[in-house]
């Protein structure tokens, strides 16, 4: 069964203090790994898709990387507006393209 | 473009009552999904559709029904609401198989 574990559950940073969020996964053949951002009371907002180990993608202060067992979301010099819950999800080759298995997320709080 | 919209935003039901949640998307996406999000659990797929007139069961379909009579709309029905269906419901759509999913703002449902 496909599984996703995110750590830490919550992370508190000072503005400018870089850090990384972890997404560990087990899947029978990875089709894709997705990162989403979710603000309180809102729906998840798509950030990145990674397809193969070694792949990296960047967007502003965020950089997502992928290995065969985990993905990291690196946040460089975060600002208070980066505060949100970050969700990771995997799509397996043998469980159907429509099924995303989500982790429970990392709640990030960036203080000024 | 409005993207994915959901109505209503909030609803309180009594046990045994029925209701329908409406999802609409203006992106001409073929694929649509209904999820529920509960504290401490990842988003879980309830039902999905791969095109107008089609529906299929997801991970947690019991107690729910869906219909996709028009390409832009995906309805989620609760025939006899139960307290266990208290949750936040999200609709999503995607333009291709395995592609990133775009989420609506959610409906917070409380069943007393």
Pick from B41, B42, B90: CB nearest A43: B90
Give the model's pLDDT for residue B40: 87
pLDDT of amino acid A98: 72
Of B21, B34, B42, which to mutate for an interface test with A (greatest number of A Cβ within 10 Å)? B42
Mean pLDDT of chain B: 95
Q: pLDDT value at position A99? A: 80
pLDDT at B108 over 80: yes
Q: Which of B5, B43, B46, B57 to mutate to test the interface with A (most CBs of A within 10 A)?
A: B43
The pLDDT, as a whole number, for residue A97 is 65
What is the per-residue pLDDT for B19?
96
Please determine, for residue B21, whether its predicted confidence score (pLDDT) is greater than 80: yes
Tell me the C-alpha distance between B26 and B2, whole Å: 7
Q: Percent of chain B having pLDDT more than 70?
A: 100
Tokens of A104: 């429970």
Exposure of A69 in the CB half-sphere (CA atoms within 13 A): 0
Instruction: Give the residues of chain A that fall short of pLDDT 70.
Output: 96-97
pLDDT value at residue B96: 84
Which of B31, B20, B33 is CA-nearest to residue B90?
B33
Residue of A37, A43, A49, A102 best to disrupt the B interface, most CBs of B under 10 A: A43
* Span B38-84, pLDDT tens digits: 998 889 999 999 999 999 999 999 999 999 999 999 999 999 999 99
Q: What is the pLDDT of residue B1?
A: 77
Distance (Å, rounded) from C-alpha A87 to C-alpha A105? 4
Asked whether the beta carbons of residue B42 and residue A104 sit closer than 8 angstroms, the reply is yes
Q: Does A25 touch chain B (CB under 8 A)?
A: no
In angstroms, the Cα distances linking A44 to A16, A52, A58, A112 are 24, 23, 18, 24
Report the residue from A36, A43, A89 with minimal CB separation from B104.
A43
Task: Outline where DSSP puts E strands in A15-105.
Answer: 19-26, 30-38, 45-50, 56-59, 62-66, 70-75, 84-92, 101-102
A99 touches chain B (CB under 8 A): yes
């Amino acid at each position: 069964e496909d599984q996703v574990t995110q750590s830490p559950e919550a992370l508190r940073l000072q503005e400018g203090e870089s850090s990384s969020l972890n997404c560990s996964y087990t899947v029978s053949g990875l089709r894709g790994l997705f990162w989403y951002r979710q603000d309180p009371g809102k729906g998840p907002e798509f950030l990145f898709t990674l397809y193969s180990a070694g792949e990296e993608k960047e967007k502003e202060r965020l950089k997502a990387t992928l290995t065969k067992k985990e993905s990291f979301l690196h946040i460089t010099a975060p600002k208070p507006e980066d505060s949100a819950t970050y969700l990771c999800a995997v799509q397996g080759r043998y469980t159907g393209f429509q099924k995303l298995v989500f982790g429970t997320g990392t709640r990030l709080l960036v203080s000024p | 473009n409005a993207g994915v919209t959901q109505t209503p935003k909030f609803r309180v039901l009594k046990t045994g009552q029925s209701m329908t949640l409406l999802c609409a998307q203006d992106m001409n996406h073929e694929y649509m999904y209904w999820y529920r999000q509960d504290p401490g659990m990842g988003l879980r797929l309830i039902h999905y559709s791969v095109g107008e007139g089609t529906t299929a069961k997801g991970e947690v379909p019991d107690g729910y029904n869906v219909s996709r009579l028009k390409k832009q709309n995906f309805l989620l029905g609760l025939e006899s609401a139960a307290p266990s269906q208290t949750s936040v419901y999200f609709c999503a759509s995607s333009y291709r198989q395995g592609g990133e999913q775009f989420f609506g703002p959610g409906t917070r449902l409380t069943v007393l």
